[in-house]
Each structure stands twice: as C-alpha cells, then as structure tokens.
Amino acid sequence: MTLLVPPSVEKQFASMPKADARRLRDRLEAIAAAPQAQHPNVRPLVGCPGSFRLRHGDWRAVFSIEGDDVVVDRVAHRREVYR
C-alpha cells in the first residue's frame, strides 16, 4: 500500500506545527502499511461512505482507501476540517 498526499495537502502539512505534522504523517503511513487493521482514533465519516478521519490532538486528517492506496483528502485543525 502507498500513501498518496496531493500537493494541496502538502501545503496544509506545511502550515501545521512541525511536530504535529510529523506525527500525523507517521500515523498515516502506518495506516497505509496495514489499512485493514484496527487503528486507534480512526473512525468512518458519517454521510461520506469510504472516507475516514484520523484524530491527533487538535488536528484531523480525512482520507479514503482506494484500491491499494490511502489517499489523504485534507488535513486541518478540528474546527475547520469538516467544513
């Protein structure tokens, strides 16, 4: 499995504090390595079939699993990510 991070999401990672961005990216890579396993703080999004959210402190990553790839849709602060 591979982790796909579009350029727009790379900008979102760059705007985050470096320590939080590094931890969130590490957790996304762990999900990409074993997407069918249970991961802490990962929940499906209600109303968006196939989309999941990863929670890390005040930061959220919304991603989907498409075939053999984990595609990150957006990364933002918890007050902004679901808008």
Per residue in 21-67, pLDDT tens? 999 999 999 999 998 889 999 999 999 899 999 999 999 999 999 98
Global pTM value = 0.91
Cβ pair 81, 15 in contact under 8 A? no
Instruction: Supply angle C-alpha 66, 71, 75, rounded to 5.
Output: 145
Please name the CATH architecture into which domain 2-34+41-77 falls: 2-Layer Sandwich (3.30)
Q: Which residues contact 82 (CB under 8 A, 6 or more apart)?
A: 60
Question: Do residues 17 and 83 lie in contact, with contact meaning Cβ atoms separated by under 8 Å?
Answer: no
